[in-house]
Chain A
């Protein structure tokens, strides 16, 4: 893939005083790939992206984005990328349409095309009809959708999305996903996204990297990662203890988990009987496929409190 790498980082590092925010990351992302960065708060995702976008100077290492060096050819890098920031960055004294138009001018969209693109983009993110209002009066989700529209409107070859769907309702989130997929199909855009919604990473990305304390801890396709955790998760409640399952080689991992035991198991449906034999006093059992949530919990080092359910307000299954 190295010939067509959209992004190549080697030894990319960033320090903030004593804090090592990004610790010597080596990474190649292929052209047309969708790549998700997952990791706990403060893991270094935003800092990493920000170096690739030429907004933060690396303390060490190099990165090439779209064929250009981020340190020496920042202007050329900027012409090939689009960014949706984690933090809000709209001009709230301007209207939605004005924000988009100004962005187009700044990013070199031919003036003749601007009106058409603004129209289409507004429709895509569901803001048609509200474009003449000042952004100050938009709701949080409307602002977010406008920021996404702005990041996409100049049709970048490489798109960085830092928690793009933060604060969006499930319907809007889906609409954004659909649009990203369409855009990729039509233009082969390379997408690098960070998210705390595991479902989003699972559904959109070809590959996922788990970052913690500035380093990539685990990387692979969502399927691979889930297999690495153990394909299935079994939760047992009632009178059970982890030592009940000692010596079972198909049990990859056992953890105490709110009021019961949580097991990562290969091929749980076939092994369920063997498991239950070990804990006849269990009162409740739940079997499900491993999700990226489980991957996150296992590999992200410091498990997030309630990390399993907190970011999954939209529990509908895919």
Chain B
């Protein structure tokens, strides 16, 4: 078999493993959907905020952000499962395999995207039934974008997972990284009307561009030109991937 074929088989194996494990852990699938649904139906409906987007409700306005958030949380949780693997020792089997760390990273990364995309599909269906009035094309675009956002955020999750030593860091990573990324992104409010410091923080938050792009897809409205958004998201993904491959290079059982 050629080198490429070997590499591809290994990536496929890792991808398959993650996909199977994901769909077997039903509790995880459901539990991740709880907070987005609370946001959509309690915050979205209860808060009766206003939407800066013409002819849309507040619920509709925050939907793309909540969708992105779901993907972000799924991805980071997935990355943290590496720590779990370390403890369960399954990682040893993969660490000992004749595959390069970049192959391992790509396999894990593709495997992780499945979760984000699946959650996103479920949420889009719920959204379309109760909140959105998007066209099929818009939904399809959003799903496609979900894959991109999943890719970008999974890299982030994997970096954290590879670096972290224990599951105790889980709360830390969630509180220090995921929540701020989500809340600062303007997912829940209109950035253009917020204070200067907040806006600056939002511009520095790569997740802002994920949300903005998703809004363009679903509502036809965005703060920045979509090309900028896309460039920022791609940059985010590439940066995460570089960090991730570096983190995987030094990943070992003893960590």
**A93, B25: Cβ atoms closer than 8 Å:** yes
**B92, A78: Cβ atoms closer than 8 Å:** no
A53-B252 Cα distance, complex, nearest whole Å: 13
B159 surroundings in chain A (CB, below 8 A): none
- Decide if B1 is an interface residue (CB 8 Å cutoff): yes
**B93, A91: Cβ atoms closer than 8 Å:** yes
- Name A106's contact: one of B1, B10, B88, B90 (CB within 8 Å): B10
B88 surroundings in chain A (CB, below 8 A): 92
CB distance from B101 to the nearest CB of A (A): 10
Given the interface pairs A85-B92, A90-B90, the reply to whether A105 lies near B10 with Cβ below 8 Å is yes
- Decide if A203 is an interface residue (CB 8 Å cutoff): no
The interface bits of chain B over 71-115 (1 if a CB of A lies within 8 angstroms of the residue's CB, else 0) are 000000000000000001110111111111000000000000000
CB distance from A206 to the nearest CB of B (A): 25
A110 surroundings in chain B (CB, below 8 A): 1
The interface bits of chain A over 109-129 (1 if a CB of B lies within 8 angstroms of the residue's CB, else 0) are 011000000000000000000
**A108, B98: Cβ atoms closer than 8 Å:** yes
- Decide if A55 is an interface residue (CB 8 Å cutoff): yes
B12 surroundings in chain A (CB, below 8 A): 105
**B92, A102: Cβ atoms closer than 8 Å:** no
The interface bits of chain A over 75-118 (1 if a CB of B lies within 8 angstroms of the residue's CB, else 0) are 10011000101011111111000100111011110110000000
A111-B166 Cα distance, complex, nearest whole Å: 36
Q: Which of A55, A90, A91 has the most CB of B within 10 A?
A: A91
- Name A78's contact: one of B25, B98, B253 (CB within 8 Å): B98
- Decide if B9 is an interface residue (CB 8 Å cutoff): yes
A103-B13 Cα distance, complex, nearest whole Å: 8
- Decide if B193 is an interface residue (CB 8 Å cutoff): no
CB distance from B17 to the nearest CB of A (A): 6
Q: Which residue of chain B lies nearest to A88 when distances are taken between CB atoms in the complex?
A: B89
Q: Which residue of chain A lies nearest to B91 when distances are taken between CB atoms in the complex?
A: A89
B55 surroundings in chain A (CB, below 8 A): none
- Name B1's contact: one of A55, A103, A108 (CB within 8 Å): A108
A85 surroundings in chain B (CB, below 8 A): 89, 92, 96
**B89, A87: Cβ atoms closer than 8 Å:** yes
**A55, B13: Cβ atoms closer than 8 Å:** no
Given the interface pairs A87-B92, A108-B6, the reply to whether A102 lies near B98 with Cβ below 8 Å is no
**A106, B98: Cβ atoms closer than 8 Å:** yes
A108 surroundings in chain B (CB, below 8 A): 1, 6, 9-10, 98
- Decide if B21 is an interface residue (CB 8 Å cutoff): yes
Q: Which residue of chain B lies nearest to A91 when distances are taken between CB atoms in the complex?
A: B90
CB distance from B6 to the nearest CB of A (A): 5
The interface bits of chain B over 24-46 (1 if a CB of A lies within 8 angstroms of the residue's CB, else 0) are 11000000000000000000000
B14 surroundings in chain A (CB, below 8 A): 106
CB distance from B57 to the nearest CB of A (A): 41
**B93, A107: Cβ atoms closer than 8 Å:** no
**B13, A102: Cβ atoms closer than 8 Å:** yes
Given the interface pairs A87-B92, A89-B90, the reply to whether A75 lies near B100 with Cβ below 8 Å is yes
Given the interface pairs A88-B89, A93-B25, the reply to whether A53 lies near B96 with Cβ below 8 Å is yes
A90-B90 Cα distance, complex, nearest whole Å: 5
**B16, A102: Cβ atoms closer than 8 Å:** yes
A89-B92 Cα distance, complex, nearest whole Å: 6
A94-B19 Cα distance, complex, nearest whole Å: 11
B133 surroundings in chain A (CB, below 8 A): none
Given the interface pairs A55-B253, A88-B89, the reply to whether A106 lies near B94 with Cβ below 8 Å is yes
A231-B81 Cα distance, complex, nearest whole Å: 55
A254-B9 Cα distance, complex, nearest whole Å: 60
CB distance from B184 to the nearest CB of A (A): 35
**B98, A93: Cβ atoms closer than 8 Å:** no
Q: Which residue of chain A lies nearest to B90 when distances are taken between CB atoms in the complex?
A: A91
CB distance from B112 to the nearest CB of A (A): 15
CB distance from A55 to the nearest CB of B (A): 6
B98 surroundings in chain A (CB, below 8 A): 75, 78-79, 106-108
The interface bits of chain B over 47-73 (1 if a CB of A lies within 8 angstroms of the residue's CB, else 0) are 000000000000000000000000000
Give 23 CB contacts A-B under 8 Å. Answer: A55-B95, A55-B96, A75-B98, A75-B100, A83-B96, A85-B89, A90-B90, A90-B93, A92-B88, A92-B90, A93-B25, A94-B17, A98-B20, A102-B16, A102-B17, A103-B97, A105-B13, A106-B9, A106-B13, A106-B93, A106-B99, A107-B98, A108-B98
In the complex, given contacts A55-B252, A93-B21, A105-B12, what are 18 additional A-B residue pairs having Cβ atoms less than 8 angstroms apart?
A55-B95, A75-B98, A75-B99, A75-B100, A78-B96, A90-B90, A90-B93, A91-B93, A92-B90, A94-B21, A98-B17, A103-B97, A106-B9, A106-B13, A106-B93, A106-B97, A108-B6, A108-B98
Binding site for A on B (CB under 8 A): 1, 6, 9-10, 12-14, 16-17, 20-21, 24-25, 88-90, 92-100, 252-253
